[in-house]
Structure 1
Amino acid sequence: MQATRRGLLAATAVTAAAPRARAQGRPKIRIGVLNDQSGTYRDTTGLTSIACVQQAVQDFGDRGFEVEVLRADHQNRPDTGATIARQWIDRDGVDVIADVPTSSVALAVGEVCRQKDRIHLNASATAVALTGEQCSPNTIVWSFDTYMMAASTGGAVVKAGGDSWFFVTADYAFGHSLEQQTTLKVTAAGGTVKGSARYPFPDTTDFSAFITRAMSSGAKVLGLANAGLDTVNSVKQAKEFGLDRRMRIAPLLMFLTDVHALGLDTAQGLVLTESFYWDLNDRTRAFARKIVARTPNNWPNQAHASAYSSVLHYLKTVADMGPEEAKRSGAATVARMKAMPTEDDAFGRGRIREDGRGIFPAYLFQVKTPAESKGEWDLYKLLSTLPAEEAARPLAETGCRMVRS
């Protein structure tokens, strides 16, 4: 499939970032935010992730070099994403490509960045291959992946008696990874998988046939190995079919924005995992206030927060190294990022592991009832916390060639 004209035109859009009063001749860092601005992940990433990157630049301030932010819509197509990435690097001198939802696109963009020694800061793709068998010295995956979702949400559902599953799975790298990682957790606990149905991505909106198969499978749990609008539509249609009266619905990658789209009448009681929630503490609330001022109709979720934090940590690293040195080699800059502890309002303190995985806690939430909610975006109550070291796949299991034996 050829890169579309709309995707390539979107790649030329530029957003002002750093303060404009600049002396000529100062070094310039260019960051390209590449995500879905028109499809199933437009709310979970999209314009709010761009706003978060802009906020990171603003919070970083003026430290002797300019920062320019470009943006583009990859339309969830690997070829489009890879073409934009090459164009940005070769023509526009982009140093970092940030966000990049859709694991198939992220893997393609990560390879371009490796070949051209630029940086891939992934905030929203989740396939464990990004820090596993296809890990790269040029890629960082900030705060969540399919292992984390399987360990937290999947593990909690199994412990609660959900020992037989049927999966509805997006048929690409992310969906496969999420189904696989959750299956490992289910079977390790003595459970079984009754079956799965994979659907074409991104061209499916009717999930009724897959829901019917799940209801006839005899499984106790419907595992949704999808995300964004696909998860929203799956949950809505499952409830319309009355599946929730016979099976438990387990959305394995669900975001605050998805719950808001569903509404509490439909989403109440669902259990899910995020690495960030705006109402966790004073620091997360302070961060959220800044982002909501930019995008009042779409509050930040874990993907948005990851876009902010990863770019802020990168800019701190550039300041530490010096912009000229940081621009010479993406791999060398990523190595310095791994050597420096992370610290920001969205995630607090953390670190980046040698395979490129950010190490942060995971939070298991239950969606509030309408009576429990005190506001439009007051949607979660915290059930438990998975410690940072347990939220990431053990290094020995990653298959990453950068991991020391």
Structure 2
Amino acid sequence: MKAGVQTILIAAAATVAFASHVAAQPAAVSDDAVKIGVLTDMSGQFSHESGEGSVTAVKMAVEDFGGKVLGKPIEVLVADHQNKPDTASGLARKWFDVDHVDMVANLINSSIALTVSQLAQQKNRIAIINGSGSSRLTNDACTPNSVHYAYDTYALARGTGSALMKAGQKSWYFLTADYAFGHALEGDTTAVVKSLGGEVIGSTRYPIEAFDQSSFLLQAQSSKAQVIGLAGSGNVLVNSIKSAQEFGITKGGQTLAGLLVWITDIKSLGLRTAQGLVLTNAFYWDRDDETRAWSKRFYERMKRMPHMGDAGDYSSTMHYLKAIEAAGTDEAKAVMSKMREMPINDFFAKNGRIREDGRMVHDMYVYEVKQPSESKGEWDFYKLREVIPGEQAFRPLKDSLCPLVKKG
């Protein structure tokens, strides 16, 4: 072979190899924009736990990041899923297929989070859950494309259940919202109670939109259980606590355990009604200087203090954008790898990390609602009872049913 021909062939082969290498690399940013979809409850009973607060938190993170990543604009889309899994699925499918949304945020309502996280895996997009609590999201229903960030039912159950059991309150009755979150919260709390030598006398499941809790509360009251565990959330929970006070349940010696209580719930109830409630939370605005500084900024926009969902939406969005920057692409698998690799150190969590099951591990906090005489301001609601280290707060990997977890 002549030297000139050989040189040409080698150059041609190198060109093909280079072209193949380039083709194998994901585009830095698909569709020339990073798109985040906030899929939340904008108008229903969970809207005060998500809704405009979630949207505001995500937009704050985008603004603080600079509005661009890898030189491309960051866009935020918003939709109301109306607490209907079919509606949520349709919206998410359109976002993925037509609008090219890269990450879906918030996803309050566990039935919806379970549905959309599976769809995100199918479409190779990312789902970051802050509003929903079902521990199934990182257990049997885990996916490689989803992150459960702020809290879950396992951590809530461990915190509040353990605190009350330590106080000698060992017999329980549950009022449980009849959907995925309520079932998981009752199940996780039952496991904690029984593991510590307690007993569950009974439970009643109520429809998610059953705003009148009177008959259910009377059943719980007649059970004579020391603790009535409220395994629900939203406006129904607020109404339950108000009705329980009217029926004299706490005056009769029974303890109400709000197994998921948001600071907006306490605001709605007022300290006179809510005082003494024991609850577990991932975030409190008045915890330290960093939480107070960020919460002040949030308050300026929303005219209320943030809760753990709001703080989680900001923190997780910022972590997602940092991961894109570190990965050099918005391709889901590459970004998820960076998100798991990078620690989380901000006002929300210190030394937080995302495990292989998608659980973001961080400290949790057990609080007691202050008496009116103890409060020094409009949003001064909680006093700290206990800090639960992240490694103790969430389900151990050895007990996980997540297929992504490698068992030794």
Say which of 130, 142, 151 aligns to 2:158: 151
Shift of 1:349: 3.2
Question: Which residue of 1 is the match for residue 308 of structure 2?
Answer: 302
Q: Cα distance, 1:398 vs. partner?
A: 1.8
**1:6 maps to which residue?**
none
Partner of 2:36: 31
- Partner SS for 1:245: coil
Deviations for 1:140-184, whole angstroms, at most 9, x for unmatched residues?
000210000010011101111110011000001100000000000
Q: 1:165 touches 1:194 (CA, 8 Å); kept in 2?
A: yes
The residue matched to 1:364 in structure 2 has which SS? strand
Inter-partner Cα distance in structure 1 for 2:84 and 2:132: 13
CA–CA distance in 2 between the matches of 1:395 and 1:248? 32
* Aligned residue in 1 for 2:149: 142
In the alignment, what sits opposite 1:20? none
RMSD of the TM alignment (CA)? 1.2
Q: Which stretches of structure 1, 4 residues or more, deviate above 3 A after TM superposition?
A: none
User: Contact 1:284–1:347 (CA<8 Å) still a contact in 2?
Assistant: no
Is 1:378 the counterpart of 2:380? The answer is: yes
Contact in 2 for aligned 1:137/1:335 (Cα 8 Å): no
Tell me what 1:208 maps to.
214
- 1:270 corresponds to 2:270: no
Matched, 1:319 2:319: no
Alignment of 1:222-261 (within 5 A): 222-246=228-252, 247-261=254-268
Aligned counterparts of 2:116 and 2:298: Cα–Cα separation in 1: 27
**Cα contact 2:108–2:131 (8 A) shared by 1:** yes
Residue 346 of structure 1 and its aligned partner are, at CA, apart by 2.5
Distance 1:197 1:313 in 2: 40
Q: Which runs of 5+ in 1 are unaligned?
A: 1-24
Say which is worse superposed, 238-247 or 169-178, in terms of deviation.
238-247
Equivalent runs, 1:272-291 vs 2, <5 Å: 272-291=279-298
Tell me what 1:12 maps to. Answer: none
Q: Does 1:60 align with 2:62?
A: no
Contact 2:176 2:232 in 1 (8 A): yes
1:203-262: CA deviations, max 9, x gaps? 210000110000111211100000121211110011111111221000001011111110
Structure-2 residue corresponding to 1:339:
341
Offset at residue 369 of structure 1 (A): 1.2
Instruction: Count how many residue pairs are aligned between Structure 1 and Structure 2.
Output: 375
Whichever residue aligns with residue 158 of structure 2, its letter is A
Query: Separation in 2 of the partners of 1:332 and 1:154?
Result: 38
Q: Which amino acid aligns with 2:245?
A: K
- Residue type matched to 1:49 in 2? S
In structure 2, the residue corresponding to 1:43 is in which secondary structure? helix
Name the SS for the 2:374 alignment partner. coil
Counterpart of 1:77, as a letter, is K
Higher Rg of the two aligned structures = 2
Q: Is contact 2:31–2:100 with CA below 8 Å preserved after alignment?
A: no
Question: 1: CA distance between counterparts of 2:369 and 2:202?
Answer: 27
Quote the residue 1:393 is aligned against: 395
Structure 2 match to 1:122: 129
Aligned to 2:117: 110
Displacement of 1:26 in angstroms is 9.0
Measure the CA separation in 1 of the matches of 2:307 and 2:367.
13
Structure 1 partner of 2:49: 44
Letter in 2 for 1:212: L
After superposing the two structures, state which structure 1 stretch, 95-104 or 62-71, moved more: 62-71
**Is there any run of 5+ residues in structure 2 with no aligned partner, and where?**
1-29
Answering whether residue 223 of structure 2 is matched by residue 221 of structure 1, we say no
Taking structure 2 as the reference length, the TM-score comes to 0.90
1:170 aligns with 2:177: yes
1:131 to 114, 138, 144: 138
- Name the SS of the counterpart of 2:352 in structure 1: strand
- For residues 60 and 184 of structure 2, the distance between their equivalents in structure 1, rounded to whole angstroms, comes to 32
**Per-residue deviation, 1:27:** 3.0
Which amino acid in the other structure matches residue 27 of structure 1?
A: D
Per-residue deviation at 1:284? 0.5
